[in-house]
Every structure is written in C-alpha cells, then in structure tokens.
Amino acid sequence: MTNRVLSILDLNDIVEPDAVGAWPLAPALTAFLVLVLAGVLGVVILTALRWHSAAYRREALRLLSEASTPGEIMVLLKRVALAGWPRETVAPLHGDEWINFLNDCCPRSSFKADAELAALSAQAALWIQHHRRPDSC
C-alpha cells in the first residue's frame, strides 16, 4: 500500500441539496390553516349577525336625538319594545306598568314617571343601548 498525502486539490465540491419547496404543505400545517380560516370566518359571521341584530337600536338612537317631547320619547321606547317583545306583552302596558317594564328589562335604567326631558332622554338612550331581549327579561 502506498501512503498518499491528501491535498486540498483532491477534495470534491460539496453538493447542496435542492431547496425545500413551500408546496405542498405539511398535513398538520394544512389542518392548522384550515382551522384558523374557519375561526376567522366564524368571527366575521358572528360580528355581522350581531351588527345586523342591533340595527333597530342604532335607528332608535338616531330617532331619539330628534325627539323633542316626553311623549315622543315614550312612543319611541314603545316602538323599540315592540321590535323585541311580542305585541301582546308590550302593547297593553301604560303608566306604572310601562315604567316597571322598562326598569325590569334594563338593570341600568331607573325611569321615573315625572322625569324631565333631559333625564328622560338620557334614560331612554341607556335603555335602548342596554335592554335585554325577552328571553332574559
């Protein structure tokens, strides 16, 4: 056997492997992305449904800003209540029964029968924004 001295000239070039492609994705990553997209889609749908279901509140607040008498405010509140409760429940209410209904359906409100216009308007806005629907009232 011969002893051969290795020199740098005897070395071969390093062969680099091909770059790893982005596609196809790994199955776990594909599943993760599908779940993330489904979650985002779910949030978008729920947000749209919530926005749509609160349209009557936004319209009522707009009309409240135009109301100039306590009678107009009470009529508006009755219209809002009719949008959320059965007609048989809301329509016959008047006087103290109506005030009690308003206070019972919104824990933040404290309507009084002899309230001034500014106080009544503030309470009406609070009630419109925070009243609970019939299933929880």
Distance, in Å, from the CA atom of 93 to the CA atom of 73, rounded to the nearest integer, reads 15
Q: Say what the pLDDT of residue 109 is.
A: 81
* Residue 102 to residue 97: CA distance in whole angstroms: 9
Q: Give the pLDDT mean for 5-13.
A: 74
Mean of the per-residue pLDDT values of the chain: 87
- One-letter amino acid for residue 46 of the chain: L
d(C-alpha 53, C-alpha 49), whole Å: 6
Specify the pTM.
0.68
The C-alpha atoms of residue 106 and residue 104 are separated, in whole angstroms, by: 6
pLDDT tens digits for 40-60?
999 999 999 999 988 999 999
Is 130:80 a contact under the CB 8 Å cutoff? no
pLDDT digits (tens, 9 = 90+) for 70-92: 889 999 999 999 988 899 989 99
pLDDT grade for 3, boundaries at 50, 70 and 90 = low
Closest CA to 78 of 62, 66, 94: 94
Could you tell me if 116 and 104 are in contact, meaning their C-beta atoms sit under 8 angstroms apart?
Answer: no
Domain range annotation of the chain: 56-136
